Amino acid sequence: MTARRVLVTGASGFIGRHLAPLLVERGYEVHCVARGDQPFGEPVVTHRADLLDAAASRGLIERIRPEFLVHLAWNAAPGVFWTTLENLDWVAASLTLTRAFAEHGGRRAVYAGTCAEYDWSEPLLDESTTPLRPSTLYGVAKNALQTVLAASSDALGLSIAWGRVFFLYGPREAKGRLVPDVIDALSSGRPALCSAGTQLRDFMHVEDVARAFVAILESDATGPVNIASGVCRPLRDIVLQIGEHFGRLDLIRLGARPMRSGEPPEIRAAIHRLHDQIGFRPLYNLESGLAAVCAVARSSQFAAQARSC
């Protein structure tokens, strides 16, 4: 039996690093593309290519001829991705990639969207009822891509699903985000300067986010699917749990930083499509997920200290 061939873009990114091994376990022939490092060995086949180069993107698809596509690649640099004009480039690049995928035998594609496509003033963000009113260029670009893909899927002959990712965390997350920044401060013995942390957010462990993408890929769901836990917690709960795991609650400074202007008090996800239609359940809750992340961080800290001795 011929293995199902899948191409994963953004494979060296936060989600992609966890996604490729899961697809191997599910029996796929996995091809990954990344501009940076190549995090996988056999049996994953890694291709170096710049997807912002249209010719390179089309050539890659022509060589691989995947049946399935999971498109994660985008500029996700903390502090940059909300406003960078590269969002425009990624809309164009994603459409080029999709058209080439369809022209060379592709059947089903799943894309990484974002909860920033929604109107965040709404009390519950539901795929079928909540207005799409993004307030950032990143959200506008993602929403524009989803709109075009939905309108063209029949003409392209593709089955397309769109995973709207909410908030995620996990081991070796890039600095500039809440969880790694608090861990970095506490592990270095520095105060963790935070806002009051009353904002309610839905966080999911990155391994569960990757598992959700696999579940969506293997389902017959089309259109948007929220990728979230369905549980909203105050950010202060996350910060205090990290403080407990490091035994440094004394370094937590809640309220030391002001809230960002326009910060929504609550961003809550409806998860009926992910749970009821697709049948996905996360492995981690917030407590077990943060415990695992902090354990990895502490072991890395101890290893670094041992090497320096």
Each residue of 225-245: pLDDT tens digit?
Answer: 999 999 999 999 999 999 999
Residues 87 and 180 in one domain: no
- Burial code of 173-186, b = ≥16 C-beta within 10 A, e = fewer? beeeebbbbbbebb
Check residue 29 and give its pLDDT: 97
Task: Give the CATH number for residue 220.
Answer: 3.40.50.720
Task: Give the CATH number for residue 249.
Answer: 3.90.25.10
The torsion of the CA quartet 49, 76, 111, 8, rounded to 10 degrees, works out to 40
Residues 16 and 161 in one domain: yes
Segments of the chain with pLDDT less than 70 = 1-2, 36-38, 301-309
Chain centre to alpha carbon of residue 170: 11
278 is a domain residue = no
Residue 269: strand, helix, or coil = strand
Residues 188 and 46 in one domain: no
Check residue 85 and give its pLDDT: 98
108 - beta bridge partners? 68, 159
Identity of the amino acid at 122: E
Number of domains within the chain: 2
- Burial code of 131-164, b = ≥16 C-beta within 10 A, e = fewer? ebebeebbbbbbbbbbeebeeebeebebbbbbbb
Radius of gyration of the chain, Cα coordinates, nearest whole angstrom = 20
| Residue 299: domain span | 170-201+231-263+285-308
Question: Which pTM does this prediction carry?
Answer: 0.95
Do the beta carbons of residue 80 and residue 135 sit within 8 Å?
no
8-63 pLDDT tens trace: 999 999 999 999 999 999 999 999 997 766 678 889 999 989 999 999 999 999 99
Check residue 305 and give its pLDDT: 45
Check residue 37 and give its pLDDT: 65
